[in-house]
Each structure stands twice: as C-alpha cells, then as structure tokens.
Amino acid sequence: MRTTSTSESHFSFVLETPAATPEAARLHFQAKLSVETDAADLRLDLERGRKGFVVVDVRSAEAYARRHIPGALHIPGRQVSEASTAALSKEDVVVVYCWGPGCNGATKAAVRFAALGFRVKELMGGIEYWVKEGAPTEGTLPQGVPVFGMRGEI
C-alpha cells in the first residue's frame, strides 16, 4: 500500500471549508470589533484622556486590590446588577476585563451589562495581556511581579 505524502496531496486543511465572501468577512470582523478591544487601543485612549467609556474590572475584590488597570472601577462579575451599575452612564461604553484569555468572567459580565442596557466591549487578554504589553497598573503588588503562574500572582 502506497501512502501519499502531504506534499503530493492536493487536499488543503485551510481550504477544506471555503473562505467567506469579502462582504461576509467584513461584516464578521466588524461585528467582532464592536464587542472587543485590545490592550494597546485601551492604553492609548486612556493616556490621551479619551472620554466615552469606563473600564470595569470584574474579578474578585482581592484580585482588584492586588493589581488593576489605573482608574478601573471594580464590580465583581456576578454582582453586575441595576444597583451596582446605578452610578454608570448608559451613554458610555463599558469595557470589562478579568484575568486573561483562559477566563470567561469578563464575557459573563458583558452579558449582564448588555442585559441592563449598556453598550459593552471585552478587553481581549484581560489583565494578563495588559501587563504583558507593559501597561501601568495600580494595586498592592509591585510592577515587576510576573504575570504567569497562579491567579494570585496577577
């Protein structure tokens, strides 16, 4: 029995599922950008004093105390409610974040904010990628503490 090497095969894993049309791709990526932002864009807007959004850390009180994005408000994700968000303006976009890409706490909080009528974006990569990009933080942990390891180290 002869086996065909991958270099001789005409099969493509990439092309097995056809690519979207350019318009479908544009709509998909536009929709994705409407609910996400990244650390670099958030950092630049914060440094420039840009208004129109509020940053909310949805992790535990202990995690927030140890390290958070400067100026971020703290509302634990499971506590997002009409009462806990009463001081926020629905004119502003709420940017939520949690630990990192392996945590869906920000996604869950985003659902709760949206259900309350807020426009919301999730910070891709959470505090982990914020720190990886060298952005400043506030809290009791020194800036040099590594991001990697147990959640308590962030």
Residues whose CB falls within 8 Å of the CB of residue 60, separated by 6 or more in sequence, listed in order? 76
Q: What is the pLDDT of residues 32-46, one digit of tens each?
A: 999 999 999 999 999
Say if 74 falls within a structural domain: yes
Average pLDDT score over residue span 68-89: 98
Q: What is the pLDDT of residues 95-116, one digit of tens each?
A: 999 999 999 999 999 999 999 9
Helix or strand (DSSP H, E) at 37: strand 36-37
Say if 1 falls within a structural domain: no
CA pair distance 89, 135, nearest whole angstrom:
26
Confidence band for 145, pLDDT divided at 50, 70 and 90: confident
Confidence band for 15, pLDDT divided at 50, 70 and 90: very high
Confidence band for 148, pLDDT divided at 50, 70 and 90: low
Say if 83 falls within a structural domain: yes
Q: Which among 145, 139, 148, 142 is positioned nearest to 60, based on CA atoms? A: 139
Confidence band for 142, pLDDT divided at 50, 70 and 90: confident
What pairs with residue 73 in β-bridges?
56
Q: Residue 132's domain spans which residues?
A: 35-153
| CATH number of domain containing 134 | 3.40.250.10
Say if 45 falls within a structural domain: yes
Say if 14 falls within a structural domain: no
For the chain, how many structural domains are there in total? 1
Task: Tell me the whole-structure pTM to 2 decimals.
Answer: 0.87
Query: Mean pLDDT in the chain?
Result: 91
CA pair distance 98, 105, nearest whole angstrom:
6
Say if 29 falls within a structural domain: no
Say if 4 falls within a structural domain: no
